[in-house]
Structure 1
Amino acid sequence: MTAITFRPAVPEDAAACMTLRALTRENAFTEEDLRALGITVDSWSSGIRDGSGPGFVAWTSTGEHDEAGDEILQLRVDRRAR
């Protein structure tokens, strides 16, 4: 069974969260779409920092490696976890 690691999001996660949000299969929003709604890396970071936009990140090892030989991890955000 694959281990899943969870932790509270930190402001430095915001950029990766924005990227991940654009890569979702259903209901994807590009960074441009989010910006049009007033959501930027800075606003997302601020929301994590002040608690108005908390989240959790989870990752699992995929068992795959990139061209540099580093392990590829999956990052997900669950805004329901509060």
Structure 2
Amino acid sequence: IEVGAYLREQLSALPQVTEVRGMGLMLAADLAEDGKGAPDVVLDGLSAGLLLNATGAHTLRFLPPLVCSKADVDALIEKLGGIL
């Protein structure tokens, strides 16, 4: 629960993210429509070592493993922030 709340908080802090929804570690983040589309973020994420999922034109889904730590979230946010 603690890492899921931390992930939600960190995703919400990204300027390009307009909404974060879901429960625990199963989250979705909506991206601003005037920015990079989710499929492009997924492709750029692969180059950066991230495995992301686009469920819509501007929606990313996150399903990290249950052993995910705050350090893992920090690494994700650092790379994702650079991509967005």
The two structures have a TM-score, normalised by structure 1, of 0.30
Which structure is larger by alpha-carbon Rg, 1 or 2? 1
> Whose RCO is larger (CA < 8 A, sep 6+)?
1
More helix by share: 2
Normalising by structure 2, report the TM-score: 0.30
